[in-house]
Amino acid sequence: MRNSIAIIVAILILITSFLAFTNTPIFVRGYSAVKSGFSETIGPMLKLMAKPMDLVSSVFDSYANLVGAKKENAELKKKLDSLLLENQKISDLERENRRLRTLLNFVEKNPKSVIGARVVGEDLKNWYKCIIIDKGSASNIKEKMPVVTPRGIVGQTVEVDRWHAKVMVINDTNSSVDVSAEGKDTRGLLEGTGQEVLKLKYVLKNDDIEIGDKLLTSGKDGIYPKGLPAGIVITVNRNKPGIFADIDIMPFSNFKHLEEVLVIKR
């Protein structure tokens, strides 16, 4: 009898969760309330758990550094030669300087519109690319706020609880960012693939885009402000069928090593 009750309860929860998943209004509201209540209780626990992360991470990094030190030394020598060559590319550096200055200006001009947050966790499933930050609605964070680092965009907030917020990273399959190539008219949609490399969609084959072009946010998607660095073009394939080119993009930020991020208030 008791077992039957457990199974009936399970079936009822199954139906409720299905209706919440399909966005049935009454169920979504009720479900969200229960879920956010639950999330609020785990928020402080997650923050507490993240404290030893620095220690674990530094031990891991030190070990990895030690193992890779010899190999790294040889690589660094090679890099030194290439850096001497790169040093001559002042124009590139000037352009980068301007870009970073824009970002810095943005932060300096709007100090109250930027909130610093610490990354305390990441998505439990590798099906979705999301990080969890230690600021939530108590720090005036709302959904659909852009999240950046000085290197480039990270993503946008998707779920906000009192103590923490979830940030959908731009390499998530549900993410799209309107971008344009720096110094060119070429525009496209930067879409996540679930992997490290992103895809730039809807760029015509005869559009002006080359390997090494830097992509900046266009500001036309209504989420990201204009001029934030998004990534760099690593491959351009114009030989596939159709009118659009197949373009791979490497984001500027390594999303696995984020410690602090900036949330831009809108």
Partner 1 sequence: MKVAIYTFLGLLLLLAESSLLSFIPVEIFKPDLGIPLVIYTTLFLGPQAGIIATLFIGFMQEGLSAAPHGSILFVKIAVFLIATFLKKKLYIDSKFSFAFVCSGFVVLESLLYITLSLLAKGETRNALNILFYTIPNAVFTGFIGIFIFSFIEYLNVRYLDRE
Instruction: Give the binding site for partner 1 (CB under 8 A).
Output: 2-3, 5-7, 9-11, 13-14, 16-23, 27-28, 31-32, 34-35, 38-39, 42, 45-46, 49-50, 52-53, 56-57, 60-61, 119-132, 158-159, 166, 168, 172-174, 193-195, 256-257
Q: Which is nearer to partner 1, 36 or 113 (CB)?
A: 36
List Cβ neighbours of 232 (8 Å cut-off, separation of 6 or more).
Answer: 212, 213, 214, 215, 249, 250, 252
- Between CA 133 and CA 211 the distance in angstroms is 33
Least distance from partner 1 to the Cβ atom of residue 44, Å:
11
Q: Which is nearer to partner 1, 172 or 182 (CB)?
A: 172
Least distance from partner 1 to the Cβ atom of residue 249, Å:
17
Sign of CA dihedral 112, 118, 119, 121: negative
Q: Which is nearer to partner 1, 11 or 76 (CB)?
A: 11
Beta bridge partners of 149: 152
Residue 145: phi and psi, rounded to 5, are -95, 135
Least distance from partner 1 to the Cβ atom of residue 154, Å:
13
Q: Which is nearer to partner 1, 94 or 143 (CB)?
A: 143
Q: Which is nearer to partner 1, 45 or 83 (CB)?
A: 45
Least distance from partner 1 to the Cβ atom of residue 7, Å:
6
Least distance from partner 1 to the Cβ atom of residue 31, Å:
5
Q: Are 219 and 225 in contact (CB under 8 A)?
A: yes
Structure tokens at 115: 């909130």
Q: Which is nearer to partner 1, 15 or 204 (CB)?
A: 15
96-105 long-range contacts, CB within 8 A, separation 24+: 99/182, 99/214, 99/216, 99/227, 99/229, 100/150, 102/227, 103/148, 103/150, 103/227, 103/228, 103/229, 104/150
Least distance from partner 1 to the Cβ atom of residue 129, Å:
8
Least distance from partner 1 to the Cβ atom of residue 121, Å:
4
Task: Return the H-helix or E-strand segment holding 236.
Answer: strand 229-237
- Between CA 167 and CA 131 the distance in angstroms is 5
Radius of gyration of the chain (CA): 22
Q: Which is nearer to partner 1, 28 or 114 (CB)?
A: 28
